[in-house]
Amino acid sequence: MSIPDETSIGLSKTMLIAKELAYDKESMKTKHKTLVTQLTDEQKNVYDSMMNNIHSNGGGLFFLYGYRRTCKTFMWRKLSSKIRSHSDIVLNVASSGITSLLLPGDRTTHSRFAIPLSLNEDSIPRAIYC
């Protein structure tokens, strides 16, 4: 596999930024207004904490974790719509393909950041049952 040159790396960065800025701000604002009314007190505290950090520090890397059915996807939709409504960039990623389909932008960490996966004859596919 050949190593990409600086021109192709710059082009892919530009394309990524352009794609992330192409969201419709008005639809994001509308979505945000709808979702904000559905927050519980605990979710509101998490949301406010993350948004305050974003506004005061200009961004960051955030991990949102919890047990099944604790509204993690809902929180990311809420946060993403708010951030994108201001023409800022948010990259939502998940560790599994199924989870990534639920997030705005639907990408796994491996595909978004081109992290290689090492598969061999001992690798076992897993079935996920709900």
Query: What is the span of the domain harbouring residue 32?
Result: 19-55+70-112
Classify burial at 29, counting beta carbons within 10 Å of its beta carbon; exposed 0-12, middle 13-18, buried 19 or more: middle
**Spatial distance between the Cα atoms of 45 and 60, rounded to a whole number of angstroms:** 18
**Spatial distance between the Cα atoms of 107 and 73, rounded to a whole number of angstroms:** 13
Confirm whether 45 is domain-assigned: yes
pTM of the model: 0.65
Question: Which residues 6+ apart lie within 8 Å of 84 measured at CB?
Answer: 23, 25, 28, 90, 104
- Could you give the number of structural domains in the chain? 1
pLDDT of residue 109: 72
Confirm whether 50 is domain-assigned: yes
Confirm whether 65 is domain-assigned: no
Six token digits for residue 2 = 């050949």
**Spatial distance between the Cα atoms of 117 and 111, rounded to a whole number of angstroms:** 10
> 6-51, pLDDT tens digit by residue?
555 555 667 778 887 888 888 888 888 888 888 889 888 888 988 8
Confirm whether 5 is domain-assigned: no
Confirm whether 60 is domain-assigned: no
> 96-128, pLDDT tens digit by residue?
766 666 666 667 777 777 777 777 777 666 555
Question: Which residues 6+ apart lie within 8 Å of 113 measured at CB?
Answer: 93
